[in-house]
């Protein structure tokens, strides 16, 4: 049992410390998107017509993503290839993070980096399709919904000087992080 725990722990460690973000994303036409995903969007976002659809893959995981503006916020809704909803991500400001989570996240940055800056924050809702629908069209917040914060940040410490994407839970605890690879800048520099 101890061995398994050690292996599991090491595995988690490797997820937290060794992952890199290398997603490929492309624009797709609405007709290429699974019907059930379009249905869900129609139910939740009602009359919203300006939705941009994307297909993305990181090599193993494949997903469809709908991007739209809703009540002045940028929403990204992720579906799996069968059209089942995976999560909703909404772009937010730093001050929209709940106070206790914000403090914990701040503490994480202070303790782990000598220099850091937050580039982008998305609040991520995961859960049952109906609950997620209520969140959008009824503004109803079901307790079963999982809330995480996905934060893209620049962080420098003794070991690393990178752009990261970190996933924090609703209490501000870091769940995982990965390096965001910045594309070559040779054509911008020379």
Partner 1 sequence: MKQFIFILATCFAMNSYAQTRSLGGFFPEASLSYKISEKYSVTHKVESQHFVYNDQTLDDKFDYNHSLTDLQTFVGRRLSPFIKVDIGYQYRIEEGENTHRPIQQVSILQRSSMFRIGHRIRTDQTFFKNEKFLFRARYRLKSQIPLNGVSLDPGENYLAFSNEIIYMTQDGDDDIENRLAGALGFYIDDKNKFEVGLDYRTDDYLVDNRFRNRLWFKVGYYKSL
Q: Is 163 in the site for partner 1 (CB under 8 A)?
A: yes
Interface with partner 1 by CB under 8 A: which range of 34-42, 81-89, 170-178, 182-190? Answer: 182-190
Q: Does 162 bind partner 1 (CB under 8 A)?
A: yes
Binding region for partner 1 (CB under 8 A) out of 18-26, 105-113, 135-143, 170-178: 18-26
Closest approach, Cβ 26 to partner 1, in A, equals 5
Q: What angle do CA 126, 128, 130 make, to 5 degrees?
A: 120
- Residue 141, judged by CB atoms within 10 A of its CB (0-12, 13-18, 19+), counts as exposed
Among 83, 147, 154, 174, binds partner 1 (CB under 8 A): 154
State in angstroms the smallest separation of the CB of 190 from partner 1: 5
Residue in the structure block whose two tokens are 């993305």: 56
Report which of 139, 156, 101 is spatially closest to residue 123, judged by C-alpha positions: 101
Which residues fall within 8 angstroms of residue 65, CB to CB, at 6 or more apart? 25, 53, 54, 55, 56, 76, 77, 78, 79
> Which of 35, 139, 159, 189 forms a contact with partner 1 (CB under 8 A)?
189
Q: Does 187 engage in binding with partner 1 (CB under 8 A)?
A: yes
First CA to last CA distance, the chain: 56
Binding stretches for partner 1 (CB under 8 A): 23-27, 54, 67, 119-120, 154, 156, 161-163, 182-190
């Amino acid at each position: 049992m101890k061995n398994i725990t050690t292996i599991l722990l090491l595995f988690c460690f490797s997820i937290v410390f060794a992952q890199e973000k290398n997603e490929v994303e492309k624009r797709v036409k609405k007709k290429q998107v699974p019907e059930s995903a379009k249905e869900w969007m129609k139910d939740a976002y009602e009359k919203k017509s300006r939705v941009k659809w994307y297909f993305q893959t990181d090599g193993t995981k494949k997903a469809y993503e709908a991007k739209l503006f809703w009540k002045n916020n940028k929403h990204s809704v992720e579906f799996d290839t069968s059209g089942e909803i995976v999560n909703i991500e909404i772009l937010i400001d730093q001050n929209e993070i709940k106070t206790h989570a914000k403090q914990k996240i701040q503490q994480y940055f202070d303790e782990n980096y000598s220099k850091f800056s937050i580039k982008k924050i998305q609040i991520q809702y995961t859960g049952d399709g109906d609950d997620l629908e209520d969140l959008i069209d009824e503004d109803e917040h079901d307790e079963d919904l999982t809330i995480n914060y996905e934060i893209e940040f620049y962080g420098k410490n003794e070991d690393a000087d990178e752009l990261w994407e970190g996933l924090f839970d609703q209490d501000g605890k870091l769940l995982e992080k990965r390096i965001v690879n910045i594309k070559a800048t040779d054509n911008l520099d020379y």
